[in-house]
A and B are shown apart, each in its own frame.
Chain A
Amino acid sequence: MTAGTGTAAEHARVGDQLETCEKVVYQRALAEREFSAESIHNDDYTRRQGYPGALVSAYVLCGYMTEPLVRFFGSSWFTSGEISLRFIGTGVQQHDSVRCGGSVREIVPDSDHLHRRVLLDIWIEKANGLRPVVGTASAIVPGSPGQPVSSTGSGHPGLAPPESAK
């Protein structure tokens, strides 16, 4: 990870995959607190409502998703990062194994035409292949959209290695 030069985002091309990040979900409040009988964070209640168990809070999952984005965008994420997430289906439960991933959807010029905004589709995937969290993320990086790049991403922290290197 570097401060402003050489981030994966600066070398990204449409279709590049975000370096994935694997987690075992843990929310401290679910481990330490008792929740009321009609709380979304109460196991018995959510099971009666058709969920596998108490729902982990959105802010926890948002935190997981930002880790690979910080790796990808570097310091730009802190000054221009935008993230939009939807939490769908039966949610995520405590101790689920999840994988945060994404791919570059679009690279567009920023308003000053000296920078570009790199836009990704992002998701969190459970071990069963379901994606209870989907959305988009973007941040501004130096350079114009048409600027040639020297690499497809190999060797840049934050990008998944190309297939040939796996």
Chain B
Amino acid sequence: MSKLIPFDAIIIGTELGPVETLVSPQRVQEYCQDWDDANPWYLGDSPFGRPVAPPAFLAGLTSFQLLGSRYDAWSTIGVQTYHRNLRPIPVGETLVTRGRIADKYVKRGLEYVVVSSTTYASDGMPCRESTDHILLSLERVQQ
């Protein structure tokens, strides 16, 4: 069982966030370096008329940021992830992600929490929906 995130204290339906993220050219460049992804759409021209963020930019990580806004989430890890892209994210945009604890469960003695979230652009329009199943710890619950 997790020592950092008390499973019993997690309440399904709890609102998380908002978390604000600036999609700066520097962060996108860092992404391209770290992921070794040189797609010119991310730093130059794209079919959308300007550079756009890599579709997986911060995907998944936002769930941990949301969970981390209430708990110490550094020891957790994603075991299942779902993302739905709704529209491209222009580089330079400031994103706001809001989420909630959608579920929690114990499977084979391990504790999980499900975080659902939506990421919005600065005009308030949604650009990505996500659901992440997060393992809280490798420590098993005492039977």
Contacts and interface: CB of A to CB of B under 8 A. Distances in A.
* Main SS class of interface, B: loop
A143 to B, nearest CB: 18
Contact of B78 (A4, A38, A66, A87): A87
A2 to B, nearest CB: 8
Given A38-B75, A39-B74, A58-B132, A70 B55 contact: yes
A75 B48 CA distance: 8
Interface in B59-99: 59-61, 64, 74-88
Interface residues of A, number: 46
A75 B82 contact: no
Interface stretch (A78-86, A105-113, A120-128): A78-86
* Main SS class of interface, A: mixed
B60 A4 contact: no
A96 interface: no
A90 to B, nearest CB: 11
B7 to A, nearest CB: 15
Nearest to A37: B75
Contact of A63 (B59, B132, B137): B59
A137 to B, nearest CB: 10
A57 B79 CA distance: 9
A65 B35 CA distance: 10
A55 interface: yes
A41 interface: yes
Contacts of A65: 56
Among B35, B46, B56, B74, residue most surrounded by chain A Cβ atoms (within 10 Å): B56
A36 interface: yes
A63 B56 contact: yes
Interface string B88-123: 100000000000000000000000000000000000
A69 B59 CA distance: 15
Contact of B35 (A40, A67, A81, A86): A67
A49 B78 contact: no
Contact of A38 (B3, B57, B64): B3
Contacts of A66: 54-56, 59
Given A40-B137, A59-B64, A63-B31, 5 more contacts: A57-B78, A58-B132, A59-B56, A78-B52, A82-B82
Interface of A: 1-4, 23-24, 26-28, 35-36, 38-41, 45-46, 49, 55, 57-60, 62-67, 69-70, 74-75, 77-88, 91
